[in-house]
Structure 1
Amino acid sequence: MTRVAVGCADYPALEARIANYAADGEIRFATRYRPKRADELIGGKLHFIVKHILVGRVEILRFEDRSDGRVDIVCVADLERIHPQPKRAHQGWRYLADDDAPKGVDVGDGIGELPPELYRELAGLSLI
C-alpha cells in the first residue's frame, strides 16, 4: 500500500513524525474505509510518498474499527528506509503490487540519503 506523508519535507521529518506518534511500538493511521484486500495486506508494508518519491515503509500489523466509523491501519513503529522510487501523489492510500515495491536501501550506497529533489533530477537524467 502507498500513502502520502502530508506535511513531511523529507525522510528525517517522516521518521520524527512516526517516532512522535508511536505508542508501545505501534503507530496508527486513520482512514475512512477498510481496504477490500485488508486480509492480504496484513504482514505487508505501508509505503510513504514524500515529494513524489517513495522513501520509507512500515509493516502492517492489523486493521481496527474505530467508534467514529473510521478504520485504523495499525503498523509497527519502525520506519525502514527504502531505495527511493518516483511515485505520483494521490489522496488516501493505494495498493502497490509486489513487483512494483521498492527494495530496501543497501547500507553504504548513499542513494537513500539523497534529498528528494536531487534524486528526482538524477533519476530524470537516468543517472540512478
Structure 2
Amino acid sequence: MAQIHLVKLSVGTESVEDLAAWQATAHAQTSDGLPRHVTRMWPKKEAELLAGGSIYWVIKGSIQARQRILRLDEVDAGDGLRRCAVVLDPQLVRTSPALKRPFQGWRYLKPEDAPRDLTAKRAADDDLPAELSAELARIGVL
C-alpha cells in the first residue's frame, strides 16, 4: 500500500518547542496520553496515512517538524458531528525547512515531496530566527 502524509498549519505556535508544550497539555492528548490533533474532516486516504504516514507541521511559514501518525480516533463532542483525532507519536522530528503558503485545513503530501529529517547534529543546533530560516529555505540553502 502506498504511503502518504499530511501537512497542517500549527496555528499560534512560534516554534517546535511551542508545539511540544501545547501537545503536553491534557486538552491536546488522548486518554492514553498521546498527542492528538482534532479535525472536522475524516481523511479519505486513511489506509495510506496509517501505512507509516506523518503529519508535517508548518510553523511561521515553513515546515519545521513532523510526527508519525499512529491512528485515527473518532471524537464525539456531543453535537452529533463526527470528528477525527489524528493520534501522533510523541516524538517531534525536526525537518529541513520547506516554505509553505497559508492554507486552511490540511493537505496531503506525497513522500517524494516531503522535506527530509534533519540529522541528530543539525536538530541539536540552535534555531535560526524564523524569517532567516524561511529565506534560506526559499533560496535552497537549507
What are the equivalent positions in structure 2 for 1:11-50 lying under 5 Å apart?
Answer: 11-20=16-25, 21-22=28-29, 24-42=32-50, 43-50=52-59
Provide the residue aligned with 2:3 in structure 1: none
Aligned pair partner of 1:4 in 2, 9, 17: 9
Shift of 1:126: 4.5
Q: Does the CA contact (< 8 Å) of 2:36 and 2:88 recur in 1?
A: yes
Percent identical pairs in the alignment equals: 34
* Counterpart Cα distance in 2 of 1:112 and 1:82: 14
Q: Does the CA contact (< 8 Å) of 2:97 and 2:134 recur in 1?
A: no
* Counterpart Cα distance in 2 of 1:97 and 1:40: 10
* Counterpart Cα distance in 1 of 2:128 and 2:49: 29
Shift of 1:22: 4.1
- Using the TM superposition, name which of 73-82 and 103-112 deviates more: 103-112
* Counterpart Cα distance in 2 of 1:70 and 1:62: 14
Provide the residue aligned with 2:62 in structure 1: 53
Q: Does the CA contact (< 8 Å) of 2:95 and 2:115 recur in 1?
A: yes
- Describe the superposition over 1:10-63 as per-residue Cα deviations: whole angstroms up to 9, x where unpaired: 222112222333454511111111111011001210010011100111110111
TM-score (norm 2): 0.79
Runs (4 or more) in structure 1 with deviation over 3 Å come to 21-25, 109-112, 123-128
- Describe the superposition over 1:99-124 as per-residue Cα deviations: whole angstroms up to 9, x where unpaired: 11011111334778222211122334
Please tell me whether residue 73 in structure 1 is matched to residue 86 in structure 2.
Answer: yes
Gaps of 5+ in 1: none
Q: Does the CA contact (< 8 Å) of 2:39 and 2:84 recur in 1?
A: yes
Give the 3-state SS of the residue equivalent to 2:131 in structure 1: helix
Please tell me whether residue 83 in structure 1 is matched to residue 96 in structure 2.
Answer: yes
Question: What is the aligned length?
Answer: 128
Aligned pair partner of 1:108 in 97, 112, 121: 121
* Counterpart Cα distance in 2 of 1:112 and 1:57: 18
